[in-house]
Amino acid sequence: MFLCMEIMSEVPTDGTSGVLDLSRNHYSLASRVLLSPDTVAFSYCLPRGSESQGFLSFGTIRPELAGRNVSYATLHSRAPPRRNLYFLRLIGVSIGGLDLPISAEALAGDALVEVQTTFTYLKPKVYEYLRGLFRLWMISYKVAPSSGELDTCYDFTDMDAIGVPSITLSFEGGASLELGLEQMMYFSNPHNIFSVACLAFAPAPAYGSGVSVIGSLAQAYTEVVYDLRGGKVGFVDNRC
């Protein structure tokens, strides 16, 4: 076993010594995995806290061959310096089973699959539509102040049940990622859903050229499968 680490220019304060390189670079750990038609380069499942257990696997059998339901999205490549990252093409966003009322041309765009970013970022206009519809769904709940870049927050402290509309992200190639309560809301107390929570989406910054980002919270509980040989990324629901 060997590890290829990206050593950071500044000494981390959290006790880590570097970042495990799983990029598309030729020297990354992911690129060194021996592949066959029956295996994928790597996959992971991010837990949503101490109540679940995640995993990172290399060279494992394809989920469909192991009897698991998986949907795949096509990998896209971008020009340097982002050529080594994993981009999908976001082609649809729905809330409560209803598509956002925005044209396909205005919605579609590259989306970076990112585990070092917590929240999900959408094109500003797409985010505005999503936020507007979400607020309509949540009109009966007590509004809470914004928290940093998260501007749609609610106080659930006096509740004994919460109902939110699911949000689904659809990608070119046929894959979709359906987000439940704990994948789409950021809770002030992650161990108690009856606390203050914010919609875990924000507008993508202008300097990012409108590129969306699928953050780690949206990926929680889902096995994300990187089939580099086939040029695609897959999603398997409820794996951790």
Q: Model confidence over 3-57: pLDDT tens digits?
A: 433 433 344 555 555 677 787 766 667 777 777 889 999 999 998 766 778 999 9
**pLDDT tens digits along 153-175:** 999 998 999 999 999 999 999 99
pLDDT of res. 3: 41
**pLDDT tens digits along 168-219:** 999 999 999 999 999 999 999 888 899 999 999 999 986 556 789 999 999 9
Question: Reduced to 3 states, what is the DSSP secondary structure of residue 94?
Answer: strand
Distances (CA, A) of 5 to 8, 34, 54, 216: 9, 19, 21, 20
Question: Reduced to 3 states, what is the DSSP secondary structure of residue 106?
Answer: helix
Q: Tokens 């061959």 map to which residue?
A: 65
Alpha helix locations (H) across 32-159?
A: 104-107, 124-137
Q: What is the pTM of this model?
A: 0.88
pLDDT of res. 32: 73
Instruction: Name the residue ranges covered by the structural domains of the chain.
Output: 71-217
Considering the segment(s) 71-217 as one domain, its CATH architecture is Beta Barrel (2.40)
d(CA 104, CA 94): 12
Q: CB–CB of 166/175 below 8 Å? A: no
**Burial (CB count <10 Å: 0-12, 13-18, 19+), residue 209:** exposed
